[in-house]
Each structure stands twice: as structure tokens, then as C-alpha cells.
Amino acid sequence: MARPRGGVQTAYGNDDMLQQVANGLTIGVVYALIAAGLTLVYGVLRVLHFAHGGVYMVAAYVALAVILALGGGFWPALALAIVVAGALGVAIERMVYRPLRGASPIAPLIAGAGVYLMLEDIFRRLGGPYTRPFPADLAGTVVLGPLQLTAKQALVLVASLVGLGLLAYLIQRTKLGLAMQAVAQDATTAASLGIPVDRVVALSFFVGSVLAGLAGVLVGLYFNAVEPTMGALPGMKAFAVVVLGGLGSVAGAVVAALLLGVVEALVTGYLDLPLGRDAVAFVLLIAALLFRPQGLLGGQVEKV
């Protein structure tokens, strides 16, 4: 994930435990957005969507382009970016994954990785290989008792929680959500009952990609940085989070993502370890595979 060197961004140098937890949750909710979208796609199609990080990156560049073109205007940029991300996700499903249904499970993995590398190279050529600043600056602070959050932190937290809340409502309270659950459980039976499986899968890709796009724009804003490779590390961490939470469990992915963000912040703030913060996700992944391979909430919640 693109960010300044030197660890977690803290608000005004406050390094106490509560502030570190708040900083970790700020990053954790972004991980949750990416991982929830990835889990949604896996749940309905049983495909690990390796191009997910590319969608995240594209949305950040779209928002940057809109802001530069309009001379400001973060909200129009965010709106267009997430729509483009959703459309890109649907296009990837239609042109790449759908023709590979029924093929060897390794085929979609290779195809998704190829799509990611293609998107990364396209935007490296269009925008240059260097990091570009994200000019939508937000000033001010939000004080919540002992906590001091920057305006960017507050926006990331609120926007991410709204996105996750809407996803939970979609899955649990709408006909589309029920159709997603039916397709995830048994696509053949769902089709025999009249559920349009292809449409449900496409809409799942749209929703998952919208979440990735929202995360990409928020990260570009928060760290004031957009670059062609910005989707690589968050994408890998999202896979670790999905496994840690339990494959196919959106709730598990969200819990694992928040845990990862907080652990990263605490490790960076308090422990002088030879491992960088980015290694924490994969240490947790290895531990989960060794001691709880079903995931944190595996077998305890209804999967998407």
C-alpha cells in the first residue's frame, strides 16, 4: 500500500496505546473493504480474484485524473472512480473469468494475475512509473475524548464503515443478497430455481469492485500518493485476510482485516522487530494455516 516511509501515520505524534489502535483501525477498515469485495467474489464464483488489486489501483488513478481536470472536487472524483471500478470488475468477469468456468482451477488464477499485470503496465505507461501526489487535501482534526484524528483519518473511517454497512445490508436484507447466498451455496440448484446465475455473479463482481475502488481512492487520499504498483501489496494482504477470516466469510474477512490493521500499528509503534509491518499479515496467515485453517470465524457464520 502506498504510504510514506517510516511506519504508521500517527495523528500529532500521540503514541499512546489508544491512539495506535485508532491508527490501526484506520488502515484496518481499508483492508476490510478490499477483503470483503474479494470474499464476495470468491463466495459466488469460487475464484481468487487476482486482478482485484488492479481495480483498486485504477480507481485511485481515475479519482486523481478527475481532481486534476476539475481543479478539486473530491466527491465527484470518488463517485466516478467507484463507478469505473465497478464497471471494470464486470468487464473482467465477462471477458476473462466467465469463459474459464469449468476449466482447471489454476486457469482463473493465472488469468487474473495476467489482468493485474496488464493494468499495472498500462497505468505505468499512462501516468509514469513514479508516485504522484493526491491533491485533495483535508485539513483539521476530530477530537474524540483522548483521541485526535486527522480529517483524513475520520473520512477514511466513516466512508469505510458506511461501505461495509451497505454491504451487510445488501447481503442480508435484499433479494440480490439472498440470490448471492443461494448461488454461493449451490449455483446449479439456484439456476434450477430461476435465479439468473450469470447476472448475480456479474453484480457480485460489480459490488466487490466498487468496494475495492472506494478503498483505492481513500488510500490515495490518506497517504497522498498514487502509483502503478499500489495495488500489489494490499491485494496480497487481502488474500491473507480472506484466508485468516475463513474463505467465503465476509464477516470473518472484516474481523481479520481490523485485527491485522491494529496488530500492524501496535507492532510498528511498540516493538523493534526485524520484520517490517508488511510481514505481519503473512505471519498471521501462516499461524492461521497451522493452528486454525478454517479461519477465525470459519464454521461459525453463514457464508456469502
**DSSP letter assigned to residue 11:** S
Q: Given a cut of 90, is residue 63 above it in pLDDT?
A: yes
Q: Given a cut of 90, is residue 213 above it in pLDDT?
A: yes
Q: How far apart are CA 45 and CA 183, in angstroms?
A: 8
b/e string for 115-135 if b means 16 or more Cβ within 10 A?
Answer: bbeebbeebeeebeeebbebe
Residue 303 located in a structural domain? no
Q: Which domain holds residue 45?
A: 17-230
Residue 274 located in a structural domain? no
The average confidence (pLDDT) of the chain is 86
Q: How far apart are CA 206 and CA 62, in angstroms?
A: 17
pTM higher than 0.85: yes
Assign 144 to helix, strand or coil.
Answer: strand
Least reliable range by pLDDT among 8-22, 161-175, 269-283: 8-22
Q: pLDDT tens digit string along 186-199?
A: 999 999 999 999 99
Residue 118 is predicted with a pLDDT of 96
Q: Given a cut of 50, is residue 280 above it in pLDDT?
A: yes
Q: Which of 186, 212, 203, 191 is nearest to 93 (CA)?
A: 203
Residue 185 located in a structural domain? yes
Q: What is the rounded average pLDDT of the residues 155-170?
A: 95
Least reliable range by pLDDT among 15-19, 92-96, 122-126, 289-293: 15-19
Residue 270 located in a structural domain? no
Q: What is the rounded average pLDDT of the residues 42-49?
A: 88
Residue 299 located in a structural domain? no
b/e string for 291-303 if b means 16 or more Cβ within 10 A?
Answer: eeeebbbbeebeb
Q: What is the CA radius of gyration of the chain?
A: 19
- Number of domains comprising the chain: 1
Q: What is the rounded average pLDDT of the residues 124-150?
A: 83
Q: Given a cut of 90, is residue 287 above it in pLDDT?
A: no
Cell 471494470 sits at which residue?
88
Least reliable range by pLDDT among 19-33, 77-91, 260-274: 260-274
Residue 153 located in a structural domain? yes
Least reliable range by pLDDT among 83-87, 249-253, 291-295: 291-295
Residue 8 located in a structural domain? no
Q: What percent of the chain has pLDDT over 70?
A: 90
Residue 269 located in a structural domain? no
Q: How far apart are CA 108 and CA 128, in angstroms?
A: 29
